[in-house]
Structure 1
Amino acid sequence: MKFGLIALAAAAASIALPVGAAAGKPFAKDFQVLAAAEAARPEQLRLLEQIVNIDSGTGDVDGGRKVAAVLTARLKALGFGIESVPAEAEGLPENTMATLTGTGKGRILLIGHIDTVFGHGTAATRPFRMDADNAYGPGVSDEKGGVVEGIYALKILHDLGFKDFKQIVFLIETSEERGSPGTRALIAKLVGDTDVELNLEPGDRPDLLTVWRKGSATFHIDVKGRAAHAGIAPQEGRNAALELIHQIQADDVFPKSGDGLTANLTVMDAGTRANIIPQNASAQINVRVRDKADLEKVQAIMEKNAATTAIPDTKVVVSREPSFPPLPNNASTDALADRAEAIYAGLGLKIGRGGNGGASESALAAETGVPALDGLGPAAGGFHADTEFLVLSSVTPRLYLLTKLMMVLGAAPPPRMK
């Protein structure tokens, strides 16, 4: 379906409403976009099923390439130029950068990730399925549902002949669940050449946009001891596992949950055989912060504790694996949320605002002064667990929202953050 002159004029009138949106007035319902979003639903869910049933846990190079191939074919059909960008870290599949040039003003960066936290074989044992309310499967909402939504928002723009944007770049990355080690330089380059970043992470229930996020980092505690026969000469050993337990207990001074700083033990490893005193032991502590300075405070405490060992002749080393900075509450994100709320209100729906401890690429954009809005994928829950689900009733409204938001921002890009 293509725009006629009358329809194009009506569409232009409907998107030139940023002032009204900021004032809390709903955008007029765009019947063409809504009809296209409703018509896309069956095909949208079939594509989601197809890629959910392909394992693509972070580091699954073959699986990531298979998912990318499915999506790349669809983006090429929409006229996007495709660049497969090698990952910046070893053991990761390539990232996909799809670019389309229009005739308008706004430069829009869409970011989604196709890596999941689930291992190879999960899709076979827990494949995509739906009931009356939800869709289920590994990565169904985090974040394959959002990536598929992005594909179909771009398809609607294509089918309606909408080009009132300067450029749309869709980055489909492959290492977000590890803090994007394979994409950092590419993201930095892309945010330097965009007016706004829209992130396809899922929206929290019942139907929320994400306007703040915690930053994250993983701290590693590595203990070196001395191996010995556990039966003949245990006294000659220096038990790294026992020292690790001591370190974890000493570090256990941080909150485990809440909206502020949290630190949680997530991985432990020690020992090789039942009859050997462990020579090596390690643990990972996942830390989430609203204030970036809290990461330095955590590291200082852990390094101080590492200097005091309970098991003689053991050595403890603390290191930090970088991830994402916090996405703080800010006026630019709120202004984007105002527009999103006005678009949703045009459907007679209300969308809320919230935040959570899950980090994302939007924080990297916001740190450079680029306005960013997160949580634009379908509403969902159960993340990083077998209970992960996507709320089916949110699929069409969220597709409409993303499509209209790109139309609005393409015609009238926001100013950079101060």
Structure 2
Amino acid sequence: MNLESNFKNLFFLITICFSILSFSQNNRNERKIISAVDKFNESAISLLKKAVNINSGTMNFEGVQKVGSLFQKELDKLGFKTELTNGDAYGRAGHLIATRKGKKGPKFLMIGHLDTVFELDSPLQEYTMQNDSIMKGPGVADMKGGDVIIILAMQALSEAGLLDDMSIEIIMTGDEEKSGKPLELSKKDLIDAAKRADIALGFENGDNNPKTVVVSRRGSTDWKLKVSGNPAHSSQIFTETVGAGAIYETSRILNEFYIQLSKEKDLTFNPGFIIGGTTLNPDDNGTGGSAFGKTNVVSQATIVRGDLRAVSLEQLKKAKETMVKIVSENFPNTKAELHFSPGGYPPLSLTEGNTKLLGYFNTVSEDLGFGSVTAVNPRNAGAADISFTSEYVDMAIDGLGLTGGGGDHTINESGNLNTVAMQAKITAVLLYRLVNSKL
């Protein structure tokens, strides 16, 4: 055997040895992560119980801030630089922001929210255990459970000595359930964080199934339709001078919306209320009103309010264009105006990066013995804060929170506490592998 062959064989052996050592080290670190999650899981459940028993309905600013302070203390212990922001500019409590700058790997954004739909007048104010694992309570799934999973994953990485390597920004908003206005101020901290990040992870509870993850969410915007016609005695309807009236024109428009758009995959448009007649008295808050009219009078005006949900910005744009065109093709002697609300929740568009990140998440779940994970149907995933990252990050997934219960936004909201440790283990190992390019 010549010198060149000996050198090649030696190089091959050294490469194999380094690969084995690296694999062994990775496995050892992942075992540390798993062990650390188990170590802190009981205290995480206690933290969740404490958080759920604090009313943090969106408009209970004091309660939202109190939950924020509770989580802030936990993140402070882990060396995060934390801040509870002031939300006066957009009429809400503010957000919790926590950051750590690491030495390598992608920059992560982890998203939660502090508020719930359960205000101070809700009959559901404290948690109860339905059995040894199912907790019922306000915000247990949506989404204080997800917030606790974030903290538990950070505790595990810190205990394993791996957190210092990572660049992580955590945003827990105080107005996810009822966004402050204007949205450009309400969501500014979140959008700014997204611009700094490479990967976004959302800890909503998705469709309440631990076997699914959200890779695409539909965006949501509101619309308002105003129609006017010529008031006259009903005997003159359809004549050249009177025309069809406002209610017929409104019916035409809504029917055309249905005919032209209802078959579009993942697109929905819902007229939430309608009033019409001779005179209208809409409520100031845009949620209803009253109308006066008589059966023998051609209707003079109608107002319709609704929402529009689309799975991509392109789909949203095309739907708006179709709706505007339909509205412009009026019946005789009628006029119609369609207005879309500014802002709204953008869609989390399905991207190659999101799909790839789901694949990574699925691999970790399978490796840890939790089984495979698939994508949620976007029709089953409503608007959420992670959607505001869609234009800025390379990869994003949501639905990593506490699952296995049900009844979201109702007095029966619940979650399976066994999923806290499971989701924290998958999350922490995923971050470790992404930082160390194991995937």
Category of TM-score, reference length = shorter chain: 0.7 to 0.9
Indicate the structure (1 or 2) with the bigger Cα radius of gyration: 2
Please name the residue that 2:354 is paired with.
Answer: 333
State percent identity of aligned pairs: 23
| 2:176 counterpart of 1:187 | no
Counterpart CA distance in 2 for 1:88 and 1:305 is 40
Matches within 5 A, 1:202-241: 202-221=205-224, 223=226
Counterpart CA distance in 2 for 1:137 and 1:208 is 23
**Residues 340-374 of structure 1: per-residue CA shift (max 9 Å, x gap):** 22222233221311223323343433422422222
Structure 1 residues 321 and 410 mapped into 2: Cα distance closer, same or farther (>3 Å)? same
Please name the residue that 2:7 is paired with.
Answer: none
Matches within 5 A, 1:253-292: 253=259, 260-266=266-272, 277=292, 284-292=305-313
Structure 1 residues 183 and 271 mapped into 2: Cα distance closer, same or farther (>3 Å)? closer
Q: Which runs of 5+ in 1 are unaligned?
A: 1-9, 17-26, 226-238
The answer to whether the Cα contact below 8 Å between 2:215 and 2:355 also exists between their aligned partners in 1 is: no
SS at match of 1:398: helix
Structure 1 residues 141 and 15 mapped into 2: Cα distance closer, same or farther (>3 Å)? farther
Worse overlay, 321-330 or 149-158: 321-330
Matches within 5 A, 1:131-142: 131-132=130-131, 133-142=133-142
Counterpart CA distance in 2 for 1:11 and 1:61 is 52
Structure 1 residues 293 and 337 mapped into 2: Cα distance closer, same or farther (>3 Å)? closer
**Residues 388-416 of structure 1: per-residue CA shift (max 9 Å, x gap):** 322233221111111212222233399xx
Q: Which runs of 5+ in 2 are unaligned?
A: 1-19, 229-244, 276-280, 294-299
| 2:316 counterpart of 1:295 | yes
The answer to whether the Cα contact below 8 Å between 1:138 and 1:388 also exists between their aligned partners in 2 is: yes
Please name the residue that 1:150 is paired with.
Answer: 150
Counterpart CA distance in 2 for 1:11 and 1:183 is 48
Amino acid across the alignment from 2:127? F
The answer to whether the Cα contact below 8 Å between 1:136 and 1:389 also exists between their aligned partners in 2 is: yes
Which one of the candidate residues 197, 200, 223 is aligned to 1:197? 200
- Normalised TM-score (structure 1): 0.75
SS at match of 1:384: coil
Counterpart CA distance in 2 for 1:274 and 1:321 is 22
Matches within 5 A, 1:163-182: 163-178=163-178, 181=183, 182=185
SS at match of 1:204: coil
Counterpart CA distance in 2 for 1:11 and 1:49 is 42
Amino acid across the alignment from 1:262? T
Per the TM alignment, residue 163 of structure 1 is displaced from its structure 2 partner at its CA by 3.2
Counterpart CA distance in 1 for 2:301 and 2:74 is 48
Per the TM alignment, residue 190 of structure 1 is displaced from its structure 2 partner at its CA by 1.6
Counterpart CA distance in 2 for 1:308 and 1:117 is 41
Which one of the candidate residues 325, 341, 360 is aligned to 2:384? 360
**Residues 229-257 of structure 1: per-residue CA shift (max 9 Å, x gap):** xxxxxxxxxx9999988876665557789
Structure 1 residues 90 and 11 mapped into 2: Cα distance closer, same or farther (>3 Å)? farther
Per the TM alignment, residue 147 of structure 1 is displaced from its structure 2 partner at its CA by 0.8
| 2:417 counterpart of 1:392 | yes
Which one of the candidate residues 427, 433, 436 is aligned to 1:402? 427
SS at match of 1:30: helix
**Residues 295-325 of structure 1: per-residue CA shift (max 9 Å, x gap):** 2343345445656889x99975522243333
Counterpart CA distance in 2 for 1:268 and 1:276 is 10
Please name the residue that 1:411 is paired with.
Answer: 436
Counterpart CA distance in 2 for 1:14 and 1:197 is 29
Amino acid across the alignment from 1:191? A
The answer to whether the Cα contact below 8 Å between 1:164 and 1:410 also exists between their aligned partners in 2 is: no
Note the aligned Cα RMSD (angstroms).
Answer: 3.9
- Normalised TM-score (structure 2): 0.72
The answer to whether the Cα contact below 8 Å between 1:157 and 1:403 also exists between their aligned partners in 2 is: yes
Per the TM alignment, residue 334 of structure 1 is displaced from its structure 2 partner at its CA by 2.8
Number of residue equivalences: 382
Please name the residue that 1:375 is paired with.
Answer: 399
